[in-house]
Structures are given as C-alpha cells and as structure tokens.
Structure 1
Amino acid sequence: MFRGFKNFLMRGDVIVVAVGLVVALAFSTLIKAFTDFVINPLVARAQGGKSPGLGWQLGQPGNTATYLNLGSFISALIYFIIFMAVIYFLIVVPYKHYQAKRGVTVFGEPTPSRTCPACLQDDLPKAATKCRYCGTDLTPAP
C-alpha cells in the first residue's frame, strides 16, 4: 500500500504540478504586493492622502492610500526570490537527483528545435522531415 503511494507521489507529473502550484502561489504574492503598494496608490492619487515609509507620497502627507510603498514591494520581491531558491534547492534538485537514479530526465534543457520556413512554427524537432502543422517538407538537419 505504501509503495503504491510512494510511486504515485514520485511520478513526474505530480511533482511538476506541485512545483508549478508553489511557483504560482509565490508569484501571486509578488503580484498582490505590486498591486497593493504600487498600483493602488497611483489609482488612489485622484482621491488624496499621506503615509511614511520607503517610497513617495503622491497625495497629502499621512494618507496611506496614496503612498507609493516601494519598501513593501521590494520585501515581496526578496521573499519571492528566497522562496523560489528554497523550492529549487529543497524540492527540484533532490527530485532531479532521485529521477536521474531511475534513468528519467526531468527539468532538463529543452530539446533542440527548428523552424518551419512556411508556417514559422518554431517547436519542430531537429530531425523532422515534415512540418506537423502545415505538412511542408523540410530538408534533413545536418
């Protein structure tokens, strides 16, 4: 029973989706901070206000609604970078190592590709002799 659960968890799809969700969560925090502390004060500037901190007061002094709070945004950016480094070194690197022992390549470099001269799709395999999108014959890669 536990072996089946372990096999389920160690499938590449599950780990990739989990890492993607964690990245999305961290990125959403960064975007929320940008919105709350940079965009919202610009919008609220039409109404007036004031506030202290790292940034610029766009309205009357002391109104937090019109304060361009770069300090909070920089904090969120630092949080994002640190969080992504932790995810990479504590989840991605050990998972890559574990999968390499099993003979599976994950989070590797993208495969070389070529561009179709007719439809300009750029994700064709290097060895392709025909475009999968428009059917144009391609010259073999050297």
Structure 2
Amino acid sequence: MLKGFKNFVMRGDIVTVAVGLIIALALSTLIKAFTDSVINPIIASLQGGRSMGLGWQLGRAGNQATYLDLGAFLSAVIYFLIFMAVVYFCIVVPYKHVQARRGVVVFEEPGPLKTCPACLSEDLPVRAGRCRHCGADQLP
C-alpha cells in the first residue's frame, strides 16, 4: 500500500504540477501586491488624501488610497525571490537527485535548436525531420 502511494507521489508530472502550483501562488501574491500598492493608488489619485512611507503621494498628502507604496511592492518582490529559491533548493534539487538515482531525468535542459528555413520558427530540435509549424521538410 505504501509502495503504491510512493510511486504515485514520485511520478514526474505530479511534482511538476505541484511546483507549478507553488510558483503560481507566489506569483499571485506578487501580482496582488503590485495591484494593491501601485495600480490602486494611481486609480484612487483622483480622490485625494494623506499618507507617508517609501513611495510617492499622488493625491492629497496623507491619503493612503492615493499613495504609491513602493516599499510594499519591493517587499513582495523580495518575498517572491526568496520563496522561489526555497522551492528550488528544498523541492526541485532533491527531487532531481532522487529521480536521477531512479534513472529518470526530470527538469532537463532543452537540447540544441535550429531555425526552419521556410517559416523561420526558431524552436525546432536539431534532429527534427519536419517543421512542426509549417510542415516543411528539414535538411539533416
């Protein structure tokens, strides 16, 4: 029973989806901070008020709604970078090591690419015999 659960959890697509979800959640925090701290004050600058901190007052002095709060946004950027480093070093690196011991390659670097002479797409593998975009035959 535990062996089946271990095999389910160690499948490459499960961990890939989990890492993608973690990145999406961290990115949503960054986007929320950007909208709350940068976009919302620009929109609210028509109302006026007073506020203080790291940033610029766009409306009347002291109005928190019209304050471009760069400190909160920089804090979210730092949080995002630290969070991604933790995800990489605590999840991705050990997972790659465990999978390599099992003989499975995960998160590998993409191979060399070439450009299709017909449609000029630049994302074809060097060994491709036909372009995936236009269907043109590729020279070896």
TM-score interval, smaller chain:
over 0.9
Match of 1:107 in 2: 107
Aligned to 1:81: 81
Task: Measure how far apart 1:128 and its partner are.
Answer: 1.7
- Listed as ranges, the matches of 1:1-142 within 5 Å are 1-140=1-140
Q: Residue 130 of structure 1: CA displacement?
A: 2.2
Q: Distance in 2 between matches of 1:108 and 1:17?
A: 16
Partner amino acid, structure 2, of 1:127: R
Gapped regions of structure 1 (runs ≥ 5)? none
Query: How far is the alpha carbon of 1:131 from its aligned partner?
Result: 1.9
Distance 1:22 1:40 in 2: 26
Measured on the aligned residues, the alpha-carbon RMSD in Å equals 1.1
Query: Deviation digits for residues 55-87 of structure 1, max 9, x if unmatched?
Result: 111111111000000010011111101111110
Count of aligned pairs between the two proteins = 140
Distance 1:53 1:80 in 2: 21
User: Which stretches of structure 1, 4 residues or longer, exceed 3 Å deviation after superposition?
Assistant: none
What is the CA–CA distance in structure 1 between the aligned matches of 2:30 and 2:132, rounded to whole Å? 38
Q: Decide whether the 8 Å contact of 2:48 with 2:61 is kept in 1.
A: no
Report the Cα distance in structure 2 between the residues aligned to 1:39 and 1:127, rounded to whole angstroms.
47
Residue pair 1:54, 1:71 contacting (<8 A) in 2 also: yes
Write the letter of the residue equivalent to 2:128. Answer: A
Rounded to whole Å, the distance in 1 between the matches of 2:130 and 2:52 is 63
Amino acid in the other structure paired with 1:72: A
The gaps in structure 2 that reach 5 residues or longer are: none
Describe the shift of the 1:58–1:133 C-alpha distance in structure 2 as closer, same or farther (beyond 3 A): closer
* 1:12-70 superposed Cα distances (whole Å, 9 cap, x missing partner): 00000000000000011001001000110011011112111111111111110000000
Q: Secondary structure at the match of 2:50?
A: coil
TM-score w.r.t. the length of structure 2 is 0.95
**Is contact 1:50-1:58 (8 Å) kept?**
no
